[in-house]
Structure 1
Amino acid sequence: MTSFGELALRPELQHVLDALGYEEPTPIQSESIPPLLGGRDVVGQAATGTGKTAAFALPLLQRLEAGGAAPQALVLVPTRELAIQVAEAIHRYGRELGARVLAVYGGQPITRQIRALEHGVDVVVATPGRAIDHITRRTVDFGQLRTVVLDEADEMLDMGFAEDIEAIMEAVPAERQTVLFSATLPKRIDGLVRRYLTDPVRVLIRTEQSTDDTARVRQVAYLVPRQHKANALGRLLDIESATAAVVFCRTREEVDSLGEALAARGYRADALHGGMTQDQRDRVMTKVRNRTTEVLVATDVAARGLDIDHLTHVVNYDLPNAPDSYVHRIGRVGRAGREGTAITLVEPRQHRLLKSIEKATRNKISVETLPTVADLRARRLELTRSALAETLREADREDAHEQYRVVVDTLTDDYDLMEVALAAVKLAHEAGQGDPDDDVADIPQVRPSADGDQDRVAPHGGGGGGKSRPRSGPTTTIFVSLGHAAKVRPQDLVGAIANETSLSGRQIGAIEITHKFSTVEIPTDAEAEVIAALQATMIKGRKARVERYKPPAERGYKPKRGRP
């Protein structure tokens, strides 16, 4: 399919597409829309930003009979932001059909949503939790649904919505068209496909197609010790002169603290994460779209589905554990032919993970030396020079600076003209750029060691330091309430501990994984730190109960011996 005109869409839809300037469908649209129009179930995989919304929205609107008594289509999405975005897109495509579209999500008064449902809705776009609320309250009738769409299915499973999805699918008609779209198709998606889709057409837009745009993205990484990452980020943003940047962090707490640190440094920075109220999130996104926020610090989940037209930089403040997540993040600056920069801050122990991402994505990520204070000062002087040059060009065109000539004339009676110019440049520089006084204590430079297992740390311009040594002394075994049933592997536990605590992988001892739980041996003096960190993070997309391990007799069951 080379044009939307080949689809024989309803005139109202085709007119809207023409008005929006849509001509050639994207690969996911070209492969998915024809079978969907033919009534087939479809499983589609394509990266974020490749046009999945139109791929399922146009076929469901083609079948829509607007003005009915009950919804005819349900779209399930993982986040509130994505619910709003998808609802707006469907409303835009279906405006000439009179399609009534409602976004249903948590954080908004449910009474407002109930009133809208009572007045009549054709398409409901919902997060799973709020959809369950309405089903339980019997404030929505899904008995006449013709189409159910699971959008970003992998993300919904990662967020723990599996049981909610099952309950929703049991509440919808058995005779329906079911569509599943996802950026990735891990094995756990197969269960959903087998249970809820009938002989689906599978559409796979391979990485080479879906990530073509990343070829226009400059990808660079810096090895930075964890305690220096905030200062390193500020220095890189200064050097890069980013117009708009999204900085990805792993946790809500880190998003908040980093946002505050950047604001204190003078950046117009805001935070975005799932712990904020909807009003707070809406205010942040309004500021981003109005370009009054230049740095958005966000978690992956909160930023899912966001598209910022003027974005120039993406920063992986925390390196994602999965190559697909890396591709999704950096693809935000490579859309629609735009160029951009992707910066990754890599902690010393993550150097191998960076190499695995390079291998999986077939992208070369250049590991560069962190700019020094001297580099930063030189960059700021260059910005001052550029600003003055622009001012001089304006003066040539408009003679706008003639009123200041009297100041120069009087000063040159007592001072050399060059001295006057230097003093003026100094004032302009201090007013516009200043000096990086917060960077006087330089950030250590990290160099990978020869064996690639540990890394050497040295100050800029200095020699190498010694390797970090594993802790010695007594050990403690901790209990983690996830095992083979949750598809937990030893590397998942090692990664969670190494990424969230001061321990390295080599300091973690024996790991045993049973069907229901796991045990991990760690240094005794790190027990409190590890337990607190694991309780606050997700392992394989799930929260775990973590505590000191008790003997088998006290628990009532016995762990299997030996490594899995």
Structure 2
Amino acid sequence: MNNNFKKYKLDKEILSSLNSLNYNIPTRVQNEVIPILLNKEDIIVKSKTGSGKTASFAIPICEKININDNTVQGLIVVPTRELALQVKEEISSIGRLKKIRCIAIFGKQPIKDQISQLKQRVHIVVATPGRIIDHIGRKTINIEGLKFFIIDEADKMLNKGFAEDMETILNRLPRECVKGLFSATIDDNISEVCSKYMTNPKYVDINQDEVNNFKKQIIEKYIKVNEDNRYEVLKKIIYNECPNSVVIFANKKDAVRDLHEKMKKDKFLVGQLHGDMSQDKRLFTIKDFKEYKFNILVSTDVASRGIHIDDISLVINYQVPKDKENYIHRIGRTGRYNKFGKAITLVSENEEKYLNEIEEYTNSKLDEIKELDDQKVKRGKIEFKVKEKELLNTGKEKNKDKKTNLEVTRIYLNAGKKKKIRVIDIVGALSNIEGINNEDIGVIEVQELCSYVDLLNNKGSKFLKKHREINIKKKLVKVRKDNKL
């Protein structure tokens, strides 16, 4: 295994997971952060989106988890449900072969189901602030054994909206708990929190060191519009740039809905994302976008933080964000992991003051697009329609062959707590099957009506070929591959 993460002397299971996830060379932020957290030191990290921040704290936390201790040892607090689920997925992927169990808990999700999950074997919890405070108050989570506490998107989490909640959580943490703050932008107002709750924190500023590379990775431009021609200019930009995929940001839900409707009428392959959508609908939208079922996503700032999609070639600010920090997070959806991207902002006369604030904040001037070549736009329209068809076909092929972790198969069982199935019952049933032993059984999650099991060491395919159902507690339980992994 030729993997540069070996230098951190990680568990073989963690290294194997990283290898199967194609994490072979640490990013700059990972190189800086992993040794500090492995050494159990507090840390403040400023690093742009798409730099590998999540793995930089997920890897050392997974490394330090004591798998035989079933208490919660890591807590990561994030501002949104979408980000909670994405961080949870990354941690689960890294810790899967070590049999680390990570769950996400957030609002608008039945608290009864969360309490049930927390009663099971859980090592790491990713949560939104309000819901974790609720569980701490109910004593349905025990954080006395917490080894790591991470605040992701710290600029958002420590502003007025979340500050009181964060103080409540920080005051409950055990003294020896390692604390980390991570964000693309960190303001001066967090210094008081750091001095009050952190012990000699190390400060890592990747943005400062890599500002020139960041500018090279993302080409930033703007074009002047008025309200009458804003939509027509948007279409011309899309055809002029002919991107593989594009995220278009608007400031309000109504603007997203209106723009989505217009683009659908014009036969674009487009989806929408905003806060009025149900959680399931939002998650399916992100999943469909990742799987090339459409190649244009229109969104509010709900997608500006933590939506990890690696191949976005263009970001368009249909409206200038009024919060200058949101501009950084929006354009950070492109140019990820050393790839190149472009961000174009549509600016009306009334929005020029916001553009000026952004330029002052980023300490750089955006280039203006003076005019668009009509001939190039016409050619681009034809090319873009062809590209849409090609991308849809590419997506089908990619998803057909997709393998998230070559050693793991996630199995779905159509029985859970309602049929009085417990983790120990599933372990016993699987251990009695020829060719499977305890080392092959990974994380098990028992829900009300169903259960999920990670089968390790390439045992899943063979198991599924031989078995469509198994006997658990004298009940025949159907099994199949869970395609969500």
What do residues 450-506 of structure 1 show as CA deviations (whole Å, max 9, x unaligned)?
Answer: xxxxxxxxxxxxxxxxxxxxxxxxxxxxxxxxxxxxxxxxxxxxxxxxxxxxxxxxx
Q: CA deviation at 1:12?
A: 2.0
Q: CA deviation at 1:198?
A: 1.2
3-state SS of paired residue (1:121): coil
Give the number of the structure whose alpha-carbon radius of gyration is greater.
Answer: 1
| Residues 1:151 and 2:152 are matched in the alignment | yes
Task: Give TM-score, length-normalised by structure 1.
Answer: 0.63
Q: Which residue of 2 aligns with 1:178?
A: 179
Q: Which residue of 1 aligns with 2:267?
A: 266
3-state SS of paired residue (2:161): coil
| Residues 1:23 and 2:18 are matched in the alignment | no
Tell me if structure 1 keeps the 8 A contact 2:153–2:183: yes
The letter for the 1-side match of 2:100 is A
1:90-169 aligned within 5 A: 90-158=91-159, 160-169=161-170
1:88-487 aligned within 5 A: 88-158=89-159, 160-209=161-210, 212-321=213-322, 324-351=325-352, 353-355=354-356, 357-358=358-359, 360-361=361-362, 363-371=364-372, 376-377=377-378, 379-380=380-381
3-state SS of paired residue (1:97): coil
Task: Give TM-score, length-normalised by structure 2.
Answer: 0.73
The letter for the 1-side match of 2:79 is P
Query: What is the rounded CA distance, in whole Å, between the counterparts of 1:351 and 1:293 in structure 2?
Result: 32
Query: What is the rounded CA distance, in whole Å, between the counterparts of 1:216 and 1:28 in structure 2?
Result: 16
Q: Which residue of 1 aligns with 2:46?
A: 45
The letter for the 2-side match of 1:5 is K
Tell me if structure 2 keeps the 8 A contact 1:214–1:334: no
3-state SS of paired residue (1:180): strand
Q: Structure 1 unaligned runs (5+)?
A: 391-564
Q: CA RMSD in A?
A: 2.7
What do residues 51-93 of structure 1 show as CA deviations (whole Å, max 9, x unaligned)?
Answer: 1111111221222112434211100011111111111111111
Tell me if structure 2 keeps the 8 A contact 1:50–1:210: no
Tell me if structure 1 keeps the 8 A contact 2:247–2:297: yes
Identify if the C-alpha distance between structure 1 residues 210 and 281 changes in structure 2 by more than 3 Å, giving closer, same or farther: farther
The letter for the 1-side match of 2:90 is A
Q: CA deviation at 1:158?
A: 4.3
Tell me if structure 2 keeps the 8 A contact 1:273–1:299: yes
Identify if the C-alpha distance between structure 1 residues 15 and 370 changes in structure 2 by more than 3 Å, giving closer, same or farther: same
Q: CA deviation at 1:172?
A: 2.5
Query: What is the rounded CA distance, in whole Å, between the counterparts of 1:82 and 1:337 in structure 2?
Result: 21
Q: Which residue of 2 aligns with 1:81?
A: 82
Query: What is the rounded CA distance, in whole Å, between the counterparts of 1:156 and 1:277 in structure 2?
Result: 23
The letter for the 2-side match of 1:334 is G
Q: CA deviation at 1:40?
A: 1.0
Query: What is the rounded CA distance, in whole Å, between the counterparts of 2:182 and 2:236 in structure 1?
Result: 39
Tell me if structure 2 keeps the 8 A contact 1:78–1:152: yes
Q: Which residue of 2 aligns with 1:529?
A: none
Q: CA deviation at 1:329?
A: 2.4
What do residues 145-164 of structure 1 show as CA deviations (whole Å, max 9, x unaligned)?
Answer: 11111111112234711111
Query: What is the rounded CA distance, in whole Å, between the counterparts of 1:277 and 1:107 in structure 2?
Result: 9
Query: What is the rounded CA distance, in whole Å, between the counterparts of 2:6 and 2:247 in structure 1?
Result: 37
Tell me if structure 2 keeps the 8 A contact 1:178–1:197: yes
Tell me if structure 2 keeps the 8 A contact 1:99–1:122: yes
The letter for the 2-side match of 1:310 is D
Q: CA deviation at 1:122?
A: 0.4
3-state SS of paired residue (2:173): coil
3-state SS of paired residue (2:97): helix
Tell me if structure 2 keeps the 8 A contact 1:232–1:370: no
The letter for the 1-side match of 2:182 is F
Identify if the C-alpha distance between structure 1 residues 21 and 377 changes in structure 2 by more than 3 Å, giving closer, same or farther: closer
Query: What is the rounded CA distance, in whole Å, between the counterparts of 2:42 and 2:30 in structure 1?
Result: 14
State the identity %: 36
* Structure 1 stretches of at least 4 aligned residues deviating more than 4 Å after TM superposition: 321-324, 372-384
Q: CA deviation at 1:98?
A: 0.8
Query: What is the rounded CA distance, in whole Å, between the counterparts of 2:317 and 2:48 in structure 1?
Result: 18
Of 166-175 and 49-58, the range deviating more from structure 2: 166-175
Query: What is the rounded CA distance, in whole Å, between the counterparts of 2:208 and 2:151 in structure 1?
Result: 21
The letter for the 2-side match of 1:335 is R
Identify if the C-alpha distance between structure 1 residues 207 and 275 changes in structure 2 by more than 3 Å, giving closer, same or farther: farther
Q: CA deviation at 1:311?
A: 1.5
Q: CA deviation at 1:344?
A: 0.7
What do residues 232-276 of structure 1 show as CA deviations (whole Å, max 9, x unaligned)?
Answer: 212322333332110112222222222222222221222212332
Q: CA deviation at 1:131?
A: 0.9
3-state SS of paired residue (2:158): helix
The letter for the 1-side match of 2:187 is P
Tell me if structure 2 keeps the 8 A contact 1:272–1:302: yes
Tell me if structure 1 keeps the 8 A contact 2:304–2:326: no
The letter for the 2-side match of 1:319 is V
Query: What is the rounded CA distance, in whole Å, between the counterparts of 2:302 and 2:219 in structure 1?
Result: 24
3-state SS of paired residue (2:149): strand
3-state SS of paired residue (1:178): strand
Greater RCO, CA 8 A, separation 6+:
2
The letter for the 2-side match of 1:141 is N
Q: Which residue of 1 aligns with 2:412?
A: none
Query: What is the rounded CA distance, in whole Å, between the counterparts of 2:324 and 2:173 in structure 1?
Result: 35
What do residues 252-307 of structure 1 show as CA deviations (whole Å, max 9, x unaligned)?
Answer: 22222222222222212222123321111012112201211221111223331112
The letter for the 1-side match of 2:305 is R
The letter for the 2-side match of 1:35 is I
| Residues 1:34 and 2:27 are matched in the alignment | no
Identify if the C-alpha distance between structure 1 residues 247 and 43 changes in structure 2 by more than 3 Å, giving closer, same or farther: same
Identify if the C-alpha distance between structure 1 residues 211 and 303 changes in structure 2 by more than 3 Å, giving closer, same or farther: farther
The letter for the 2-side match of 1:143 is E
3-state SS of paired residue (2:170): helix
Identify if the C-alpha distance between structure 1 residues 355 and 167 changes in structure 2 by more than 3 Å, giving closer, same or farther: closer
Query: What is the rounded CA distance, in whole Å, between the counterparts of 2:269 and 2:73 in structure 1?
Result: 43
Tell me if structure 2 keeps the 8 A contact 1:106–1:130: yes
Q: Structure 2 unaligned runs (5+)?
A: 391-485
